[in-house]
Amino acid sequence: MILDAKRVLPIWTNAFVQGRVAGMNMAGKKAPFTKLLPMNSIAFCGVPIISMGFTEAPKEKGYKVIEKNNLKKRVHKRLILKDNVIVGGCFVTNIDRAGIITGLIKDRIDVSDYLGSLLEDDFSFAYLSKELRKQRLESLNRALVI
């Protein structure tokens, strides 16, 4: 999914989605396979960690890394960007906003207007433009309709 690169994603949830799509197609229902985002979440020694997409900037030119650390609280946040689009990140201890960031990655949203706010503890959809918030909510509503 990230930059249309093909990678092995040996994560259970990805295998589940692939198996479900394969089973539906074998049963005669046409089910397209949508590209997946590599993600993982773990608590190690009681410390929650979540990663999505690239966790290190590839060696090619054009990638930008933004980070925020709070050593007292043992918080680390890192985002990898290419052309002002988030292509990955990693959050340690404070993982509250990881879902919002994951949505921005999946939708390939240009975040140039929000670069200074992305790693703030209170970053939310309220930081996004009115039009972008509307698009995100409409997309969420379509996903919830069964």
pLDDT single digits (tens) 103-112: 899 889 999 9
- pTM assigned to the model: 0.76
> Which one, of 93, 92, 108, 96, lies nearest residue 37 by Cα?
108
What confidence score (pLDDT) does residue 143 get? 63
My answer on whether 55 and 111 are in the same domain is yes
Pair 110, 50 in one domain = yes
CA distances from 7 to 14, 31, 50, 87, 123 (A): 12, 21, 19, 14, 30
* Whether residue 57 sits in one domain with residue 2: no
**77 and 46, same domain (yes or no):** yes
User: For 118-136, what is each residue's pLDDT tens digit?
Assistant: 999 889 888 888 888 888 7
For residue 18, the model assigns a pLDDT of 85
Instruction: Indicate if 56 and 70 belong to the same structural domain.
Output: yes
CATH at residue 94:
3.30.390.30
Sign of CA dihedral 113, 118, 121, 122: positive
**Could you tell me the residue range of the domain that residue 23 belongs to?**
1-36
Question: Which residues does the chain have with pLDDT short of 50?
Answer: 1, 146
- The domain total for the chain is 2
Q: How far is CA 131 from the centre of its chain?
A: 21
Contact present, 98 and 50 (Cβ < 8 Å): yes
